[in-house]
Amino acid sequence: MKEIRRRLREIKLKSFKAKLGGVGVFSKEFVRIIWVKLNNCDELQREVDKVLKSLFTQEKRFMSHLTIARVKKVSDKKKLFGFLDRIKVKEIVFEVKSFELMKSELFPKGPKYDVIGKFALL
């Protein structure tokens, strides 16, 4: 973990504007996460991939997002997707001044998230 944090500190990217996008899921067959897309985060992802390339394979299907729900069971997928299709996310634009390395652990009572590194942008 120390090596990952050290490498992420090497990223010298300027702060940037991001914008909320639409709502979605990663897999319509196996719904586990509902998210809101983040637009304009691709350069940060490329930089993360670059500094970590010798430790991890590059993320092929990366999609920046905010997780808004974890799903345990869906009894009516058609109804869920109809509901998600009707959600209109306000187009909020905000400045990204830093990013964090997170650890998530899933427990029966729900996930536990810990920040294990915070990295400032220029």
Residue with tokens 């109804």: 79
Q: Say what the pLDDT of residue 110 is.
A: 82
Local confidence band at 18 (pLDDT 50, 70, 90 cut-offs): very high
User: Residue 37: is its pLDDT beyond 90?
Assistant: yes
Length of the chain counted residue by residue: 122
pLDDT score recorded for residue 30: 92
Sequence spans of domains, the chain: 2-96
pLDDT computed for residue 68 by the predictor = 93
Q: What is the pLDDT of residue 59?
A: 77
The domain made up of 2-96 has a fold known as Cyclic Phosphodiesterase; Chain: A, (3.90.1140)
What is this structure's pTM? 0.82
Closest CA to 20 of 33, 34, 37, 35: 37
Question: Which secondary structure element, helix H or strand E, spans residue 42, and what is its range?
Answer: helix 42-52
**Closest Cα partner for 53 from 2, 109, 4, 106?**
4
CB 22 within 8 A of CB 92: no
